[in-house]
Structure 1
């Protein structure tokens, strides 16, 4: 497993000797396909909590313009538009993690060839589960929530969940973030005006029980819904993309998650400068092109940027 950090030219070199700051890579269009007959022709984009498939709207168009079929499956029952879910969050209240994973598994199993699977936040954890079950030609976990067994839980995650934790009754409700909470958790690197625009465009309530479960998943013993067999040597290659200033799932979460994989299947971590909502950050095109280029050619150490890559311990 390798790790690299990618940021702007104004980023100072970190003290950690295995991470080197470097200029942002050139924008990659990834128009050239692999000549392999079964090269992926479909990209599946999986959203996280507090948003819907609309949060992928720019990535979807971007990839479709390059000739790919793009699927952005909603969680079961969340096929409505953002505005409708805000008015009636009943479908959100009825969600379970197992139902989401089963629904996503059905979606990808219907494809005629393995797709590239990308997921953001909770969608990153679901991407790992799908890869572990044998789906996908490559997986990209962006600002990923940790899968089962990852014990590095940052204070920021507990803080963001505090309204639910403080009131156990919230486990049975659909809970919204305020505009201020949204900026603190999702868009902390953006201006207030930019953050509010994204809040109004993408935010929906989240299922209280699932947020509660994710906050305390590793306190309870036994396997959970996001269990992954980290020794599975038949899964597809996996790339973690972290936001350097992500307060919810900071880079150490991806580092720990990636380190749990014990097989010799390619597993890498890269870090871009940005917030939790990397999918809507100003540099989203660079990240999207980088993710696709890596997925098309997931060779160990192939992070496709001019910086130095050091093997992690």
Structure 2
């Protein structure tokens, strides 16, 4: 239950992850005085295991539907929240921020949207298990442990990568990946962000070893906001990969995110002076 006296932080997970991947972050922000909540995507089951056993409800879910799902959850909250998203969750978080449904946000290796033309080979290779078969557009795909380590958790040991896979990896709908990959070829794509909208502060975090959303893609997303007068910042972790929000180094990423919120007036409680 969200505490109505606290600023909510809504966490949005990405493709192939279960919402429980945010558990450590929720514990942290609750300790800091916020009220953390991590709704799953539409079709997510309550646990990783249940999502794997019955992935059917996740199939054919697109970016607009997922955004609407989170928008509805936000409108039920007692206060306007902060949004924090990872990967495709970062794209969703930016959409929500552009819709003025959040007071500020942090996005970690956010998925590509229309206007961002950086699409490195490594990013295409990481998406190939889905994009390599057009039939996957309406299906769900679960990365193998080897695929997960190669493209998602390549910044940590294979042992840690396999542990993360066991705890959090679930089948993901193929549709959002196809939408993002073809965003610049369709004016009707759902993979869009209102980069001109006046909004709360936004921090974009990138990983120098990220193969799923390489740093050049995240930096290009930051560049899309160049003409927006609202606060936008970029932070690069040189030695981190796509799993940086959930692996053993998650706290370093979280500390940067929390510092950003505090510096821009979004601390959980008023700061004492003197």
For residue 223 of structure 1, report the CA deviation from its aligned partner: 4.1
Contact 2:126-2:211 within 8 A present in 1 as well: no
- Structure 2 vs 1, CA of residues 163 and 250 (structure 1 numbering), >3 Å: closer, same or farther? closer
- Structure 2 vs 1, CA of residues 168 and 256 (structure 1 numbering), >3 Å: closer, same or farther? same
Cα distance in 2, alignment partners of residues 51 and 228 from structure 1: 22
For residue 167 of structure 1, report the CA deviation from its aligned partner: 2.2
Contact 1:45-1:73 within 8 A present in 2 as well: yes
- Structure 2 vs 1, CA of residues 65 and 40 (structure 1 numbering), >3 Å: closer, same or farther? closer
Q: Normalization by structure 1: what TM-score?
A: 0.79
Determine if the alignment matches structure 1 residue 140 to structure 2 residue 101: no
Determine if the alignment matches structure 1 residue 91 to structure 2 residue 57: yes
- Structure 2 vs 1, CA of residues 291 and 169 (structure 1 numbering), >3 Å: closer, same or farther? same
Name the Cα RMSD after superposition.
1.8
Report the secondary structure of 1:147's partner residue: coil
Task: Answer 1 or 2: which has greater helix percent.
Answer: 2
For residue 80 of structure 1, report the CA deviation from its aligned partner: 2.6
Q: Normalization by structure 2: what TM-score?
A: 0.89
Report the secondary structure of 2:235's partner residue: strand
Contact 2:21-2:168 within 8 A present in 1 as well: yes
Determine if the alignment matches structure 1 residue 254 to structure 2 residue 218: yes
| Cα deviation 1:95-127 (Å, max 9, x = unaligned) | 222111001011112223221110000000111
Tell me what 2:271 maps to.
Answer: none
Cα distance in 2, alignment partners of residues 116 and 40 from structure 1: 11
For residue 158 of structure 1, report the CA deviation from its aligned partner: 1.2
Report the secondary structure of 1:277's partner residue: helix
Cα distance in 2, alignment partners of residues 244 and 167 from structure 1: 28
- Unaligned ranges ≥5, structure 2: 266-274
Answer 1 or 2: higher relative contact order, Cα 8 Å, separation at least 6: 1
Contact 1:135-1:236 within 8 A present in 2 as well: no
- Unaligned ranges ≥5, structure 1: 1-38, 300-313
For 1:212-227, list aligned pairs within 5 A. 212-218=178-184, 220-227=185-192
| Cα deviation 1:144-163 (Å, max 9, x = unaligned) | 11222211111122112223
Tell me what 1:271 maps to.
Answer: 236
Cα distance in 1, alignment partners of residues 46 and 57 from structure 2: 9
| Cα deviation 1:129-179 (Å, max 9, x = unaligned) | 001001212110111112222111111221122233332222222111111
Tell me what 2:269 maps to.
Answer: none
For residue 285 of structure 1, report the CA deviation from its aligned partner: 1.1
Determine if the alignment matches structure 1 residue 229 to structure 2 residue 194: yes
Mean Cα displacement is larger for which, 284-293 or 174-183? Answer: 284-293
Paired residues, number: 260
| Cα deviation 1:14-41 (Å, max 9, x = unaligned) | xxxxxxxxxxxxxxxxxxxxxxxxx962
